[in-house]
């Protein structure tokens, strides 16, 4: 699976309260990592910028050099939970053969499962938390989440069988598919690792939700041509 790295920034911060240990992360990324851990484990509302700064080992003023405050940090973390998947949708639709429509949905599910499995501190949990969902930040994040849900619905529509299409609308189909992939969040919440085999099983489940036969599921997995081993494309 691919490894997703947090975006870095080049601006230096003010001197640290605690001397910096050897780290591959830029200061901005350290702040994001610390905030992710605190938000997920303690809650967004219960975490202060001082808490985040102390965890990183910097002055609170240094945190504001990189972010305007907690809302900006939360907004970036939420984006990290969906943006890698959204950025691949266009390529998936262009690269995956129309002869094997199942492959596009299968690949999106694999990418999305990978995103949720590798983002720091299981930050996919954030948009399920009441204090996050009631924030203005979540309102601004919803269009990205809706865009990803719509992509699932659109790709699912190319696979869906007659009986399923007769009972499930496009929006509902997208929601069902994205919820199937979000099982990754629950698995990580239990402290379990999400393996490559797990991700393939989740992608296959998405096709089953659409009413695809086992033969079509095998065909979709084969059409990926090694993509989930680090290369290749839809065939």
pLDDT tens for each residue of 15-49: 444 445 545 778 899 999 999 999 999 999 999 99
Domain ranges for the chain, please list them: 27-78, 80-229
Tell me the C-alpha distance between 92 and 85, whole Å.
10
How many CB atoms are located within 10 Å of the residue 230 CB?
8
Q: How far is CA 203 from CA 64, 174, 206, in A?
A: 41, 14, 5
Superfamily classification of domain 27-78: Homeodomain-like (1.10.10.60)
- The overall average pLDDT reported for the chain is 87
| Percent of the chain topping pLDDT 90 | 72
Is residue 8's pLDDT more than 50? no
Is residue 98's pLDDT more than 90? no
Mean per-residue pLDDT, 77-105: 90
Check: CB of residue 195 under 8 Å from CB of residue 146.
no
Please give the pLDDT value at position 113.
Answer: 96
What are residue 5's phi and psi, to 5 degrees?
-105, 140
Mean per-residue pLDDT, 110-119: 95
Please give the pLDDT value at position 226.
Answer: 58
Q: How far is CA 230 from the centre of its chain?
A: 18
How many CB atoms are located within 10 Å of the residue 213 CB?
12
Mean per-residue pLDDT, 89-118: 91
HEC profile of the chain: CCCCCCCCCCCCCCCECCCCCCCCCCHHHHHHHHHHHHHHHHCCCCCCHHHHHHHHCECHHHHHHHCCCHHHHHHHHHHHCCHHHHHHHHHHHHHCCCCCHHHHHHHHHHHHHHHHHHCHHHHHHHHHCHHHHCCHHHHHHHHHHHHHHHHHHHHHHCCCCHHHHHHCCHHHHHHHHHHHHCHHHHHHHCCCCCCHHHHHHHHHHHHHHCCCCHHHHHHHHHHCCCHHHCCCCCC
Task: Categorize the per-residue pLDDT at 225 as very low, low, confident or very high, splitting at 50, 70 and 90.
Answer: low
Please give the pLDDT value at position 163.
Answer: 85
The structure tokens listed for 74 are 């939360």
pLDDT tens for each residue of 42-75: 999 999 999 999 999 999 999 999 999 999 999 9
Please give the pLDDT value at position 93.
Answer: 87
Check: CB of residue 115 under 8 Å from CB of residue 4.
yes
Please give the pLDDT value at position 18.
Answer: 46
Check: CB of residue 1 under 8 Å from CB of residue 227.
no
Please give the pLDDT value at position 147.
Answer: 96
Q: Structure pTM?
A: 0.84
Please give the pLDDT value at position 12.
Answer: 40
Please give the pLDDT value at position 14.
Answer: 39
């Amino acid at each position: 699976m691919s490894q997703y790295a947090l975006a870095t920034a080049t601006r230096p911060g003010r001197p640290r309260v605690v001397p910096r240990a050897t780290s591959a992360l830029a200061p901005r990324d350290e702040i994001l990592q610390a905030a992710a851990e605190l938000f997920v484990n303690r809650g967004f509302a219960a975490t202060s910028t001082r808490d985040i700064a102390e965890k990183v080992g910097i002055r609170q003023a240094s945190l504001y050099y990189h972010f305007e405050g907690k809302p900006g940090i939360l907004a970036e973390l939420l984006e990290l939970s969906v943006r890698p998947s959204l950025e691949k949708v266009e390529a998936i639709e262009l690269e995956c053969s129309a002869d094997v429509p199942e492959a596009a949905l299968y690949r999106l599910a694999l990418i999305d499962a990978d995103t949720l499995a590798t983002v720091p501190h299981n930050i996919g949990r954030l948009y399920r938390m009441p204090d996050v969902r009631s924030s203005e930040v979540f309102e601004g994040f919803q269009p990205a989440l809706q865009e990803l849900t719509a992509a699932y619905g659109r790709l699912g529509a190319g696979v869906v069988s007659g009986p399923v299409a007769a009972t499930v609308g496009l929006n509902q189909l997208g929601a069902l598919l994205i919820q199937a992939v979000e099982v990754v969040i629950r698995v990580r919440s239990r402290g379990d690792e999400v393996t490559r085999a797990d991700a393939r099983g989740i992608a296959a489940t998405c096709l089953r939700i659409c009413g695809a036969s086992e033969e079509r599921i095998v065909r979709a997995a084969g059409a990926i041509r090694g993509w989930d081993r680090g290369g290749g494309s839809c065939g």
